[in-house]
Structure 1
Amino acid sequence: MIGKFRRLYDDEHRPAFDWMLITAALAAISQGVAFALTVPVLTALFESRPGDAWPWLFALVIAAIVYAVLHYTSLTIGYSAGAQLARIVHHRLGDHVVALPLGWFTERRTGELSQLASQNVVQLMRVAAMQVRPLINAIVVPLTVFAAMLLFDWRMALAGALAVPVVAVAYRLFGNLISRTDHTVDAASAQASGRVVEFARNQPVLRAFGQREHGGQLLEDSLRRQHDTGRAQIVSGSVGLTGYIVVLQAAFVWLLLAGVYLALDGTLATPELLGLLVLAVRFVEPLIHAADDGATLRIAGNTIDRVEKVLAERPLPQPENPQVPEDASIELRDVRFGYDDDPVLDGVSLRVPPGGLTALVGPSGSGKTTITRLIARFHDAWDGGVLIGGVDVREMTTETLMSQLSLVFQDVFLFEGTIEENVRIGRADATDDELREAARRARVDEIVARLPDGWNTRVGEGGWTLSGGERQRVSIARALLKDAPIVLLDEATAALDAHNSSAVTDAIAELTSHRTVLVIAHDLNTVAHADEIVLLSDGRIAERGTHAELLAGGGDYARFWSYRDQSNSWQLGAAR
């Protein structure tokens, strides 16, 4: 376990952690020596030779002082090393995840990463600062006491050695019980945390549809699962700990019986027996604390495994000779791609010329969103190539690729901060005039005008203080402010009302004059005014052309348009 902790430290801070281990071990040795020196002190006092006890007593005081100094040193270094570990792990995780493909960040993985970077890292910091040293003490002190027993009476040392394998087996079994349940407890805790956030955020929907009991039941089930797994861990841990303590007490009784037998046999003096029994107590007592410390370290070891699993994820490959795109065109060449082993795109070839608006339409699951995510390099295609400006996206650095793209997806996330801060994410160095212009084109100025704090209005975690349509308009303002040559819009108007949808449609129209826009939309106006429409079906391009051409063809797109047109003409009749 200690080796796992050492791997987490960088080269600069690992020596401090090692020095903490060394000073903790030396402190434990000096403590064991101090206990060992009680044997000659007690022997001299009980044999009515108090004068002979003074040199041993002086040595005992020196050993105690050395222990105090080393213990304080290891304690100070330990707290510093724990704080450094939290900073190092956060930096390592942060530096690594920004290099991972964006497609890696699924909802499940994001939740696990959130728990790992918050609760689990704090746990590691606490263990490194406060639990490693006691465990070293619990191991080194008995070893030192055992060595002292060898010096004073090898028979008592042999009795202690015979008890060690039994104690080791009990310790191992107890540790395995804790380790096996930790993964289940951690998964249940992560799920419960996610359900709490989900239940809070979805209150408007749950109340509107009278599903508060259903939503509450999901939360209740996850909390019950968390309770049950935690209870199972406590029960199994208590059983294991009780068995371990019973074994330790039996080991002490075994040493006591061995000492009494030797004393009754006349081969071990009574004063020396008393001193050796003191050592026997110090041999067993630290091993009791080792159970708690060892269990904590095993749980921390599981956490380190989860950290290393994230760090072992393959980062997005970067080109050795990065290239820069020549223009804002987009091209897919016989692309095949899917998730896990299920193909989604099967031989898709598509070229989007620069400066126009291309619409992707088709049924759910046909691969529309997957195309936009491959262009943004959330994933790399299985076969074929995805090119921007004649350059394969795998031959660009992440910075170069992202500088070419503005992304507006259906699921909008706003950071906890002000409206202005969230819009400026598009381009932090934008002037106030540029910010206001982007806001005007996305109709964010209307939102700002009606709020008491204006641009300084805080949107809350995830932007919960704004409506779905308002969050989408802020997201589009980001894209406008970034002013990238290519804009990818995935269902940008799906969550908007008529007013907001009109504002977004106007903003998209402004972009088409000098940008390449690839939009996934079911909005009839957006689709009808596209320079080209691409209909996807079963991972392939079924039809492509202008709106008029596809309607005249009378194929799947014409039927798609007819269904949408009919649904738009539906009206609610008055009740009679």
Structure 2
Amino acid sequence: MKNVLTSFLRGTDRRALSALSLSLVAGAVLQGIAFALIVPIARALFAPEPRVAWPWIAALVVVAAVQSVLHHRSVPMGNELGAQLVTTVNRTVSQRISQLPAHQLGAARSDRLAALDSSAIVVLMGLPAHVLRPLVAAVVTPMSVIVIAVFAAPAAAMLIAVAWIVSLVLAFAAARMLTATTEPDAAQWLERVRSWPVQPPAGAARRISSIVLPAAGEVLLWRSIELLLCGAMAVSVFVVTDGDPVTAVALILLSALMVRPTTEAALLASTVLNSREVLRNVGELLDGDPGAQQDWPEHDDIEFAEVGLAVGQVPFGFRLAARSCTALLGGSDGIRLTLAELATGNLAPPSGRVLVGGTPIADIAPGEVERNVHWVGPADPTSDELVGLPESEVALRAAQRMRATDSTTLSESDRACFGVLRAFGRAPRLAVVDLTSLHAVDSELDELVAEFARERTCLVLPPADAGAPAYAQRLVVEDLSGKIEARS
């Protein structure tokens, strides 16, 4: 997890990180000075002349005011740095995923990556602003108190240093012990909640009671550590101060104040540790081998090899020749769209393989698939397309028809024409022409699709009630039997 966070922090603004670190360190030093001022204030309040305490109280107010200003300025800096950190994480993961072959992640790892948006993002966003501050204070604040105590009472400074080290070890050991069990990440919690029945199962009350005892044990553990440290400090301070009750009370207050930042830092450290599984999965993804990424094959024929669309369904197989046009007929739009998604690599078949030119489409580099595969559907024209359309009679007639009507009320056929015209500029080698949203295909759109399909391997999904176009072979889907048959 440390390596992952370090790599992400490299992509953030280093000057902003340095400014935030200086602000947090300065705030922690001022907090240590404020804690140290408790001792002279307490002694002055119990003195015969309590007015002696006012200068110390004034100094405490000034220190608190400066610390408040630093805190007010550092919170927006931390939030901005946290937003940069989250943005860096998202961009890095997106870039890495775009380099992976299709479907290499699988369902399990995809769920873990999705959990990054829920659990780890919260930790990363709050890391600079809320988690880093107590961690810095747990180290810098006690050290500031110890440095000040060295000049006032060396023996007390030595005692405070030993007590601080012991409290630091005990607090983080307790935090480590409490987080020894693996906490479920966000994806596992979602899966667990979805599997819960509507009615609470029998024995739920017993399970709730079994949770109460460990939870109470955790709270009692922290309180016991704090009381133990404060009690040990009280006895030691009383011995060091030769029985002076006023100084002993002041140092006991100081010890209680010093223990608190340490326990807070330990608790927040456990929050970071609870997200280590998600960050580990992200690190494996970023550092893993993207695998073999092949170029687009020389031939564009499509082969479905023993593909099954559902569990228990009889596998089917067929081959579509390169630079041929095939119309998917029969069946529901859902099954026809699924076949088209399989052919373009957008879906992975539950069983079997889909090959393009003899190469599994899942093994082809994503960039190659993006350049050579295109899904064509109805599209609204842009302002540039309305002004400068391709020089062809079909496009010109479509433009004239649009200018005669309101451009905001284009028919679905006109939008389909623009989708096909736009696909000409992409020049894909494999294309799917999705016309399932149309009620019928007019002659102009039919002519345009025929021209587009002439130079590439093309799958056409005509409207449900339309027949096969004259320029395409038929691929008939039969829902009831699950049989898919290619017919000329």
Q: Deviations over 1:418-453 (max 9, x none)?
A: x62xx66xxx96445759978999xx98xxx899x5
Secondary structure, counterpart of 2:133 in structure 1: helix
After TM superposition, the structure 1 = structure 2 runs for residues 251-400 of structure 1, keeping only pairs within 5 Å, are: 251-255=228-232, 257-259=234-236, 262=239, 267-290=242-265, 293-299=268-274, 301=276, 304-305=279-280, 307-308=282-283, 311-312=286-287, 330-331=300-301, 352-354=321-323, 356-358=324-326, 372-373=343-344, 386-387=356-357
Aligned residue identity for 2:300: I
Secondary structure, counterpart of 1:180 in structure 2: coil
Size of the alignment, in residue pairs?
A: 459
CA contact (8 A) 1:174 1:237 kept: no
Q: 1:402 to 1:232 in 2, by over 3 A?
A: farther
After TM superposition, the structure 1 = structure 2 runs for residues 179-258 of structure 1, keeping only pairs within 5 Å, are: 180-183=183-186, 186-188=189-191, 238-239=215-216, 241-255=218-232, 257-258=234-235
Q: 1:398 to 1:45 in 2, by over 3 A?
A: closer
**Whole-angstrom CA distance in 1 between matches of 2:347 and 2:191:** 32
TM-score, scaled to structure 2: 0.64
CA contact (8 A) 1:479 1:487 kept: no
Deviation at 1:276, TM superposition (A): 1.4
Q: Deviations over 1:86-112 (max 9, x none)?
A: 333343344344434443587887777
* 2:375 aligned with 1:407: yes
**Whole-angstrom CA distance in 1 between matches of 2:271 and 2:71:** 21
Partner residue, 1:488: 431
CA contact (8 A) 2:462 2:468 kept: yes
Secondary structure, counterpart of 1:278 in structure 2: helix
Partner residue, 1:27: 27
CA contact (8 A) 1:175 1:298 kept: yes
Answer with 278-287 or 266-275: which moved more. 266-275
Identity %: 21
Answer with 14-23 or 428-437: which moved more. 428-437
**Whole-angstrom CA distance in 2 between matches of 1:2 and 1:372:** 41
* Counterpart selection for 2:174 from 170, 184, 209: 170
Secondary structure, counterpart of 2:458 in structure 1: strand
Partner residue, 1:131: 131
* Counterpart selection for 2:457 from 487, 491, 516: 516
Deviation at 1:271, TM superposition (A): 3.4
RMSD: 6.2
Q: 1:180 to 1:171 in 2, by over 3 A?
A: same
Deviation at 1:38, TM superposition (A): 3.8
After TM superposition, the structure 1 = structure 2 runs for residues 107-126 of structure 1, keeping only pairs within 5 Å, are: 116-117=116-117, 121=121, 124-126=124-126
Deviation at 1:282, TM superposition (A): 1.0
Q: Deviations over 1:6-49 (max 9, x none)?
A: 43234451452244234313421332243234435655775779
**Whole-angstrom CA distance in 2 between matches of 1:116 and 1:55:** 52
* 2:60 aligned with 1:85: no
Deviation at 1:372, TM superposition (A): 1.7
Answer with 79-88 or 57-66: which moved more. 57-66
**Whole-angstrom CA distance in 2 between matches of 1:313 and 1:521:** 42
Aligned residue identity for 1:246: R
**Whole-angstrom CA distance in 1 between matches of 2:188 and 2:255:** 37
TM-score, scaled to structure 1: 0.56
CA contact (8 A) 1:360 1:535 kept: yes
CA contact (8 A) 1:30 1:63 kept: yes
Partner residue, 2:481: none
Q: 1:501 to 1:108 in 2, by over 3 A?
A: farther
Aligned residue identity for 1:402: E
Q: 1:32 to 1:454 in 2, by over 3 A?
A: same
Secondary structure, counterpart of 2:260 in structure 1: helix
* Bigger RCO (CA 8 Å, 6+ sep): 2
Secondary structure, counterpart of 2:103 in structure 1: helix
Answer with 31-40 or 232-241: which moved more. 232-241
CA contact (8 A) 1:331 1:386 kept: yes
Unaligned stretches of 5+ residues in structure 1: 193-217, 456-469, 537-541, 548-576
